[in-house]
């Protein structure tokens, strides 16, 4: 029996953890096995190799840590930087804030470029700072690709152009937790040095894997980086990669079988290109619904619109937390609350992972009901209709069923 | 990997099989066990006893056959009737038709009372026939409680009143396949002699259990009924009930654990009364949507409206099969086609089992999209809005979350 | 929580239901789906076709009923015979007895050829009866391939030779419940007309499928057979086979996915030939253990030895039921009791399905412990050692790991 | 389909990961959920509280990290120590070696007390060193309770007595990865300051949780410890404990439900006392088998015998790796190899977690077969018999089945 049972399925529209589809649940439904058996590397190598496709890289080396996104952050930073190293980081919302907090606690010298919550990274200021850095003292630029708290996607290609324009050698570290596997991500093309994600987002797995890809430059930097690290050290992994036994300590075989299933769903069954198109379609549909409701996005400009999460600003007399509460209490709909500065002011609709059009429309219908419950005079069906109109145009036939 | 994969969940809105909720999947996720162990009867007895609650009976004896609804039909008929026995049966749609076909092939003398598809059983004619049966030659009245092909629910209390009014001793046999566990069912109060259902409908289990309840009068009739039967014979079960080992042949332990979980969800977590209210709420919402779309129900009068399945008539220039096809091909929405006489003319939305408001609204949004795809000029969001308005009023807070 | 929990795994050594391996549990771990979708026949057709391989037939037509072995028996009989038809059937143990009971209740005129329990079918008497049947009034010969209660395997090739020798046209009906998929079975070669099995035996699935294969002659006989039947009627299946939608009523999609996985394990991963060799190996090992314990088989001659179940006779001062009880209560080992005539006198070790050498050795060690508990002075390890010696010689390397 | 399929179950006798029992698999068979919902803390708090019972503590605070044992080590060290701190650590095998390697890389000043592999910690030397430490410069004593590579269990009560005898304030840090939940562990009584374990050992869960308990003294030390830490920082957890939302970053809900099920099995169904007794029984049985085979334990004295893993020394002309290989290739038996210094010289039988007598006996029979395959002239059945004799005496009836 569950703790807070309700009939029917939970409508999970937080921006992660996301829905775990049945093929993944099936793949994970197994007892433990000996990860030191001659057989285990076959699975291990297949996922270590194939996961790179969702990062858009062939050049990088991947590390699959038994950890979360927070651990992946720590692995990214400590493997390429030394205490005291100067880094630039953008503060545009709660998750970039938390990463910056981590950077500071790990004794890096963080130059924070802050934007209003809802705006993207201030790239003009980055340009200025890089140009002024004659001494090349800036060792890394750290950026969150998709800020989950505000629904803002940063333009990584532009970041690369600025770095290249300034001929600046700083490493580029990217948090792709709520983007990789859902949004277009081109690690090699954008010359990202370290990119990372977590299993419970676009991959639609349970929490438990922090996946880090490191470019050849990053691997080189790791050789001299002085930050202390053991659990998160790439060197141990590289040693076991060479030995062929892959894992310096015990991995979760269930999570790896799940990852294999997830990659099969994304790469083989649906196709990465289609996955990204689907996320764009669902993102657009959601934004059209918000507009139909007469509400505003937290995201300040369309260029920053996120296709994985939409943060919606509520009128000032309404507490967005009440919307989230009633949605859960009456309709078994899980939405994201506003965090920190924007607590009470926005609620969030996650639309990433293994998800389809009608699931989203059901959730949007639920948001309308919740809005009405808290006194916002939304026209029932209005957002749904706007989203439907978009989806009808944009949705292709399901490939396997044509 | 699945055969016809699609991202996200399948929206299963056929009128059975229904969605299997996770607690039931979990309960069934187990290897086999020895059904002759001293332990097994504990589970067996608990489900044999508790399943009677959804039939609304304490007086009847339940039999849980490893079969389907078709097998349960056969068990009901052959245990209380002898070849050549005269029975009255109502033909109001595809499933009553199939049951009548079975009756004929089992050599009963069936007096068929036919209605138009979309109408309920012609109870006036029943009354006339019973009154005219001075010889009491009619041994049984057989009726489908909820005709799944047309979305028609018959009034069983009225049937009982007619039988009692005529002081007719005919047995009352009821197919409750798409009603029991979802609609109000009062076996004892309505003096139903044999009632039956299948596991894959309101119980939200996989197919595989045909559950039959027999009144004391039915058990008495079984002692002299001459229809040949072995697999479906109640007598073998009664013998093993007495022995305490319950099963005359091997049951599916997985299905019994699943049934235990299903009964717990219905009786303990949600409460049978709330389950029935939820089905009524979802049925009403669906009908309001159909009305908003400018379409008609196959059900001809409101008194016959079914809270488990809604059959929708499409304009004559549209083939309802096309709606079902495109819904599945583009939106991963499974609807029911029109059967037999009404093939091409109606499609069906099943709304029974473990299901909630937003799941239904997502499906209704999908129906709207499918209608548009086949050229019916529905206003997007119109049906959703009508359903939302009803659901907002009618839906209580989830008990466990208040 | 389970009803009678115990640490570690249950050692399931009853002769069915058998252990369900993880790949099958995974395949079945899924919600329901619409069996009328355009997609479903792909799965259906694949299992209907491939299941014939374990029957050793390409000529026959298979029917997969949502029922048990008892239902499969009923389907076999009622589809090819008419009430009053004369049939010969062999009574050699509890399951042949039950089948004969069914035959009688279905109004066939059964000529029972009885043997002592522990002996095989009396084929000499069959020969005599067939030869004497100048009128060809015997319509069918019914035989249990492997009598699960006594561990006796009958020689079906010999039965065929006798029928052919007598040029007798009687149909040959075979219960292969505890043989097909584990023992060599050659339906085409032996000209078996109807053969049947259940899912919970060699296929290592949950209970719930009764699988019947019918030869062309049997299909022909079915056209005129007058036994009443609906649920078990082949004609309905044949009609839906032609329509392409396969199922006359709702199947269990979970069981069909499970069957697909089971057939993959048997036919693709291990290979049917290897599966049969494994069963022979485990059967031999068990018999060597029994011999080492100083006990006797219930099976009276080696030619009847069963490779799927071993029935062991205990000394007269011991109640075999006590062995079964203590094995379950102290060691979580599930053995089969002696049935009917041999209750208290034999216990049974099932060794069929998805099972390997060390599982069996663990169980044999457990039998030794149980024997000691009831006062039989077995030398601990003696049976295990005898079985080990055989297995060391007879076990090949696991193909996938060479 | 699996990568290296084999019929029957894998016999998993490595000393972790261990067998995951069905109740845990069932508990974990679920999609993701919102860990920020009002409901989630109920589950979280229950496991955070109850897990302390297997540590033998009411005074300590528990932290459940989404990591492995290696991460738990890092958390233990970095939360209470500052770079440069002097610590004593015992090197008695591969896992103590790896922990010491971690300590050094984290810049602690490690005074290593080395023993032969197979011996326990040299407590006499500890006593001497503590007595000589007038300056109280030793900040911590770190010890592995059960060294998994050699099958050696250290006497923690003795360590405490020595610390107390020397009135030394050093913190006591204990790796209980292969002990806690299987061996008697008394954190409060032994005044252990930090104790830790991983989910994939005695708890019989998948890998993925590193569980750390900290005494009030350890929590106090954490306030001033200067080691950099974010992911592994207790302070973040304590902050969220206070807030009531428990998790500073996303936990794996599946693992927490699994932990709940594991604790229920240990604490409610079997009883911790019985779990420990069972491990002792299985350990003794294994050692008796080794003796019967004429082989020696790696463990040099009986006082160090481990009840969770037995390391067996093979004759010098045999490569223990060959035993492990053939066991896996022919019998689907997974044993542990010898590590590092003792590679090729020992193999290991893990006997911890959710496991019973007959599972062990099957594995011991498999070890005998493997020994024979590599040319060691073991008498088949000899070890099994010795183990059986012990188990018959020592095994109680299963509580739920008396």
Q: How confident is the model at residue C1 (pLDDT cuts 50, 70, 90)?
A: low
Which of A29, A254, A400 to mutate to probe the C interface, most C CBs <10 Å? A29
Same domain assignment for residues B57 and B144: yes
Q: How confident is the model at residue D2 (pLDDT cuts 50, 70, 90)?
A: confident
Provide DSSP, D341-380: GGTTTEEEEE--SS--HHHHHHHHHHHHHHHHHTT--PPT
Q: How many whole angstroms separate alpha carbon B220 and alpha carbon B240? A: 18
Residue of B31, B45, D260 lying closest to A2 (CA atoms): D260
Residue with token string 């439904």: A29
The token duo for A87 is 């880094």
ipTM beyond 0.95? yes
Residue that terminates a domain, selected from D204, D239, D267: D267
- Inter-chain contact B401–D27, Cβ cutoff 8 Å? no
The helix (H) or strand (E) run that includes residue A327 is helix A320-331
Same domain assignment for residues C58 and C195: yes
Longest Cα–Cα distance in chain C: 64
Residue C354 inside a domain? The answer is yes
The token duo for C295 is 């006990």
Residues of chain A with Cβ-Cβ distance to D333 below 8 Å are none
Residues of chain C with Cβ-Cβ distance to A22 below 8 Å are 29-31
In this complex, the residue of B328, B359, B385 whose CB is nearest that of residue A381 is B385
Same domain assignment for residues B205 and B123: yes
Q: Is A132 exposed, middle or buried (0-12, 13-18, 19+ CB in 10 A)?
A: exposed
Q: How far is C181 from chain B (nearest CA, A)?
A: 18
D379-389 tens-digit pLDDT: 999 999 999 99
Residue A158 has pLDDT above 90, yes or no: yes
pLDDT averaged over every residue in chain D: 98
8 Å CB contact between C351 and C146? no
Same domain assignment for residues B38 and B149: yes
D283-300 tens-digit pLDDT: 999 999 999 999 999 999
Residues 6 or more apart from B132 whose CB is under 8 A from it?
none
Residue A6 inside a domain? The answer is no
Q: How many whole angstroms separate alpha carbon B12 and alpha carbon A366? A: 19
In this complex, the residue of A29, A38, A401 whose CB is nearest that of residue C26 is A29
A264-283 tens-digit pLDDT: 999 999 999 999 999 999 99
Residues 6 or more apart from B304 whose CB is under 8 A from it?
B119, B120, B152, B153, B154
| Proportion of chain C above pLDDT 70, given as a percent | 100
Same domain assignment for residues A179 and A34: yes
Same domain assignment for residues B330 and B317: yes
pLDDT of residue D1: 61
Residue of D171, D208, D164, D264 lying closest to D64 (CA atoms): D208
Residue B348 has pLDDT above 80, yes or no: yes
Q: How many whole angstroms separate alpha carbon C179 and alpha carbon C155? A: 12
Interface size A-B, in CB pairs within 8 Å, comes to: 193
Same domain assignment for residues A56 and A107: yes
C153-165 tens-digit pLDDT: 999 999 999 999 9
pLDDT of residue B2: 80
Residue B104 inside a domain? The answer is yes
Interface size B-C, in CB pairs within 8 Å, comes to: 182
Residue that terminates a domain, selected from B217, B248, B267: B267
8 Å CB contact between D349 and D13? yes
As a whole number, mean pLDDT of residues D264-274 equals: 98
Residue A289, helix vs strand vs coil: helix
- Inter-chain contact A29–C29, Cβ cutoff 8 Å? yes
Q: How many whole angstroms separate alpha carbon A71 and alpha carbon D229? A: 11
- Inter-chain contact A22–C31, Cβ cutoff 8 Å? yes
| Proportion of chain A above pLDDT 70, given as a percent | 100
pLDDT of residue A112: 98
8 Å CB contact between D137 and D86? yes
Same domain assignment for residues B239 and B168: yes
Q: Which long-range contacts (CB under 8 A, 24 or more apart) does A372-376 make?
A: A372/B392, A373/A323, A373/A326, A373/A330, A373/B392, A374/A318, A374/A319, A374/A322, A374/A323, A374/A326, A375/A318, A376/A293, A376/A314, A376/A315, A376/A318
Residue of A267, A273, A272 lying closest to A50 (CA atoms): A267
Residue C274 has pLDDT above 80, yes or no: yes
D103-143 tens-digit pLDDT: 999 999 999 999 999 999 999 999 999 999 999 999 999 99
Residues of chain B with Cβ-Cβ distance to A11 below 8 Å are 358-359
In this complex, the residue of B1, B328, B385 whose CB is nearest that of residue A264 is B1
Same domain assignment for residues D220 and D341: no
| Proportion of chain D above pLDDT 70, given as a percent | 100
Residue C332, helix vs strand vs coil: coil
Residue A1 inside a domain? The answer is no
Residues of chain D with Cβ-Cβ distance to A27 below 8 Å are none
8 Å CB contact between C207 and B248? no
As a whole number, mean pLDDT of residues A62-70 equals: 98
- Inter-chain contact A337–D36, Cβ cutoff 8 Å? yes
pLDDT of residue D3: 86
Q: How many whole angstroms separate alpha carbon A20 and alpha carbon A25? A: 7
| Overall pTM surpassing 0.95 (yes/no) | yes
Q: How many whole angstroms separate alpha carbon D254 and alpha carbon D264? A: 15
pLDDT of residue C3: 86
pLDDT of residue C239: 98
Q: How confident is the model at residue A1 (pLDDT cuts 50, 70, 90)?
A: low
The token duo for B281 is 């709420």
Residues 6 or more apart from A263 whose CB is under 8 A from it?
A47, A50, A51, A53, A54, A203
Residue with token string 């093309």: A189
Beta strands in D145-279 (DSSP E): 146-147, 152-153, 171-175, 194-198, 210-214
Q: How many whole angstroms separate alpha carbon B256 and alpha carbon B262? A: 10
* Residue B160, domain CATH: 3.40.640.10
Residue A208 inside a domain? The answer is yes
Query: What residue spans of B133-271 are helical by DSSP H?
Result: 156-165, 216-222, 234-243, 253-263
Same domain assignment for residues C225 and C276: no
Tally of structural domains, chain D: 2
Residue that terminates a domain, selected from D243, D267, D291: D267
A24-59 tens-digit pLDDT: 999 999 999 999 999 999 999 999 999 999 999 999
pLDDT averaged over every residue in chain A: 98
Q: In terms of residues, how long is chain A?
A: 402
8 Å CB contact between D96 and D176? no
C316-363 tens-digit pLDDT: 999 999 999 999 999 999 999 999 999 999 999 999 999 999 999 999
Residue C311 inside a domain? The answer is yes
In this complex, the residue of B268, B329, B396 whose CB is nearest that of residue A398 is B329
pLDDT of residue B1: 61
* Residue C370, domain CATH: 3.90.1150.10
The helix (H) or strand (E) run that includes residue C143 is strand C138-144
Residue A3 inside a domain? The answer is no
In this complex, the residue of A32, A101, A232 whose CB is nearest that of residue D206 is A32
Residue of C244, C239, C225, C212 lying closest to C67 (CA atoms): C212
Q: How far is D11 from chain C (nearest CA, A)?
A: 8
Same domain assignment for residues C365 and C262: no
pLDDT of residue B291: 98
Q: How far is D147 from chain C (nearest CA, A)?
A: 24
Residue of B126, B147, B149, B150 lying closest to B138 (CA atoms): B126
pLDDT of residue A3: 86
Q: How many whole angstroms separate alpha carbon C391 and alpha carbon C396? A: 9
Residue with token string 């957890």: D237
- Which domain, by its residues, includes C140? 22-267
- Inter-chain contact C391–D369, Cβ cutoff 8 Å? yes
Residue B178 inside a domain? The answer is yes
Same domain assignment for residues D177 and D286: no
Which of D21, D29, D34, D402 to mutate to probe the B interface, most B CBs <10 Å? D29
The helix (H) or strand (E) run that includes residue C112 is strand C109-114
Query: Subunits with at least 3 CB pairs below 8 A relative to chain C?
Result: A, B, D
8 Å CB contact between B358 and A362? yes
Residues of chain B with Cβ-Cβ distance to C47 below 8 Å are none
Residues 6 or more apart from D402 whose CB is under 8 A from it?
C329
Distances (CA, A) of D277 to B156, C17, D274: 61, 32, 5
Residue of A337, A401, A395, A323 lying closest to A366 (CA atoms): A323
């Amino acid at each position: 029996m569950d703790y807070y049972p309700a009939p029917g399925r939970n409508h999970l529209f937080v921006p992660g953890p996301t829905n775990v589809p049945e093929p993944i649940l099936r793949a994970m439904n197994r007892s433990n096995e000996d990860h030191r058996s001659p057989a285990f590397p076959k699975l291990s190598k297949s996922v270590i190799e194939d996961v790179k496709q969702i990062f858009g890289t062939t050049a990088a080396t991947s590390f699959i840590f038994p950890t979360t996104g927070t651990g992946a952050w720590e692995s990214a930073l400590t493997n390429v930087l030394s205490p005291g190293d100067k880094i630039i980081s953008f503060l545009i919302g709660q998750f970039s804030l938390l990463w910056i907090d981590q950077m500071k606690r790990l004794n890096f010298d963080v130059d924070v470029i802050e934007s209003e919550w809802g705006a993207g990274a201030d790239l003009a200021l980055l340009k200025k700072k890089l140009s002024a850095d004659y001494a090349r003292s800036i060792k890394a630029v750290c950026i969150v690709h998709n800020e989950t708290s505000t629904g803002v996607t940063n333009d990584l290609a532009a970041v690369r152009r600025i770095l290249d324009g300034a001929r600046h050698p700083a490493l580029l570290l990217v948090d792709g937790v709520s983007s990789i596997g859902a949004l277009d991500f081109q690690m090699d093309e954008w010359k990202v040095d370290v990119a990372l994600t977590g299993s419970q987002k676009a991959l639609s797995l349970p929490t438990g894997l922090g996946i880090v890809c490191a470019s050849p430059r990053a691997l080189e930097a790791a050789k001299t980086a002085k930050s202390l690290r053991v659990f998160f050290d790439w060197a141990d992994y590289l040693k076991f990669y060479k030995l062929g036994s892959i894992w310096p300590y015990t991995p979760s075989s269930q999570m790896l079988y799940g990852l294999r299933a997830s990659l099969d769903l994304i790469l083989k069954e649906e196709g990465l290109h289609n996955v990204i198109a689907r996320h764009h379609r669902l993102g657009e549909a959601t934004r059209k619904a918000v507009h139909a409701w007469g509400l505003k996005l937290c995201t300040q400009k369309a260029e920053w619109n996120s296709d994985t999460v939409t943060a919606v600003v509520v009128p000032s007399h309404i507490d967005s937390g009440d919307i989230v509460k009633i949605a859960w209490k009456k309709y078994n709909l899980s939405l994201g609350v506003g965090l920190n500065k924007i607590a009470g002011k926005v609620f969030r609709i996650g639309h990433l992972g293994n998800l389809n059009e009608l699931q989203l429309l059901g959730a949007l219908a639920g948001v309308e009901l919740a809005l009405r419950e808290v006194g916002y005079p939304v026209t029932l069906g209005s957002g749904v209709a706007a989203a439907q109109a978009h989806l009808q145009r944009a949705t292709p036939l399901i490939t396997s069923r044509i």
